[in-house]
Chain A
Amino acid sequence: MSAIPSIETATSPFPHDSVGKVKKQQFTFAEPPGELVLESGARLGPITIAYETYGTLSPAKDNAILIAHAFSGDAHVAGYYTDDPTTEKPGWWDFMVGPGKGIDTDTYFVICTNILGSCMGSTGPSSISPETGEPYGMEFPMVTIGDMVAAQKCLIDHLGISRLHAVIGGSVGGMQVLEWCVRYPHMVRSAIPIATTMRHSALAIAFNEIARQAIMADPNWRHGDYYAGQKPDMGLAVARMVGHVTYLSDEAMRRKFGRQLQNKDDFSYDFGIDFQVESYLRHQGSKFVQRFDANSLLYITKAADYFDLKDTISTPSCIDDLHKAHLKFLVISYSSDWLYPTYQAKELIQALKRTGQDMSFCEIEADCGHDAFLIKDIRLTNLIRGFLHGVPRN
């Protein structure tokens, strides 16, 4: 420990364990005629993938960790875009990623990409189609979780990384983690799927369908062709409200809101906001429309509904590939997650046992529901830190 702090640390406006100021980058590939062939058979190109990186890639390129974000997330995992951290919220997993944190950027080179079909810098339905010069809208081809991963792989290849130390992600990000393992097992050393599933239950599909119908029933949606005029904000906000209910839990909502009224002592006897939980959901809905595209929600929820690894992972060729690659898995679920409950994580464990993988599983006791992995929790940090440390580099 030096007694006099260096000028840099003394003047840095960022917390000491922050990755500091970061920049969103973009990578464009699959230029016609070399378009990416999607699982549906459709061709898509050019494709731009937005991504961020933290830490330093080792000369051997063996310390890279790919983080896959959840359905409405983005590539901004950690750090700040400006020099003033007091006016800006850091990335969505800032408590996990940084110098000395659970995913330690002093050791690892961390990459996160915005998923294909999203609207946070990567190609999606709101991008301009090179054929028409207009936003794709519903002309955008259906993309799957597999397609998102295939696009990520193009970036990883571009960065010259032949094997990832780990692929980590929660929820729809966890689906990408699993897809990576079955698609490119030789490129993955370890995997941490969190609060996720091998395939959507009827319950999960049902909530996604309500969200989609809310958007498509909005007169402003106009079959996805709304980019020049008013957007289907009402539908998108309702879709988000439904989503938020599934990310919470009965316990969390009881603790947070109960039946408390919002800024009043009695019922209003009209259809304004009475309960705090109503106010909260409306707030989440209106916040969401500021940053997210309704068509992207349609495409990504459908990709999540289509995702089904249960059969794939049981095929002899997949079992054989996984046997050869021999990955290390850490599967994490949350006790109050009713969107992807623990029994679904157990099904994953059951399937992985048949493929002879080295694996760990832990259910974390928490009342915050599905979204718990986005809330700072030392137990999650310790699990991830210890697990990553136990994965041999070579």
Chain B
Amino acid sequence: MVSPVTETIRFDLQVIADWIEPGSRVLDLGCGKGDLLAWLTANKQIVGTGIELDKEKAAYCIGRGLSVLQGDLSEEVADYPDKSFDYVILSQTLQQIYEPAQLLYSLSRIGRRVIVSFPNFSHYTIRLQLMFSGHAPKNDQLPYSWYDTPNIRVITLSDFQKFARDVGYTIVKEIAINTNSANSSGSVVDFLPNLRATYGIFVIEKKG
């Protein structure tokens, strides 16, 4: 009953979609216009919910038959009972969260597994820019200037691995990817990922 997906979804979302088992209960945080949810609903028969702050995007999602709550994701996740979802997806949003540790704690409470993706700040182009130009780096993944960026956290793949360990999460899966500028295609980076990958995608769950 959800309107068919005409475009291919972003490469990082393709990777995430691959990991989701058919029939799962999925919460997509910052779901935008609902491309991932629509794809998962059509291809993996998931029971999906999205949360999106932008009213027009949320309305667009609802209009295409998706279940989406318009609101602030940090507030909205607080009200769900424990283990309401099989997967909670936080895609390319972690770098914009004011209290990431607290949010991830909430997500691991309401979801069996949490999928987190973010742009890798230690990509070699960023390192080189900072080193040679002396300016705050910009690239396709992080296109903003220091004064207008919504990305208030700079995270590297190594940072996240350390954080997950320190805070008590098990990293169930991780993958580093490199995408083209349109983000529609890309490849998996196995060699020196912290240096060469533009994005990191992690599946974590709470220990114990």
Contacts and interface: CB of A to CB of B under 8 A. Distances in A.
Given A328-B67, A391-B1, A392-B1, A362 B79 contact: no
B1 A389 contact: yes
B4 interface: no
B176 interface: no
Secondary structure type dominating chain A contacts: mixed
B70 A386 contact: no
A391 B2 CA distance: 9
Given A349-B69, A362-B55, A390-B1, A330 B62 contact: yes
A389 B62 contact: no
A360 B1 CA distance: 16
Interface in B50-81: 55, 58-59, 61-71, 79-81
A387 B159 CA distance: 42
A360 B79 CA distance: 15
Interface string A305-349: 000000000000000000000001010000000000000001001
Contacts of A354: 79, 81
B63 A385 contact: yes
Contact of A359 (B61, B63, B67): B67
Contacts of B55: 362-365
A350 B47 CA distance: 19
Interface in A270-329: 328
How big is chain B's contact interface, by range?
A: 20 to 34
A383 B84 CA distance: 25
A201 interface: no
Contact of B58 (A350, A362, A389): A362
A382 B2 CA distance: 14
Contacts of B49: 358-359
A262 B59 CA distance: 40
A151 B66 CA distance: 33
Which of B58, B63, B81 is packed against the most chain A CB atoms within 10 Å? B63
Contacts of B59: 362, 364, 379, 382-383
A348 to B, nearest CB: 11
A382 B65 CA distance: 10
B69 A382 contact: no
8 nearest A-B pairs in the assembled complex, by CB-CB distance: A390-B65, A386-B63, A350-B79, A362-B70, A353-B79, A361-B69, A382-B63, A360-B62
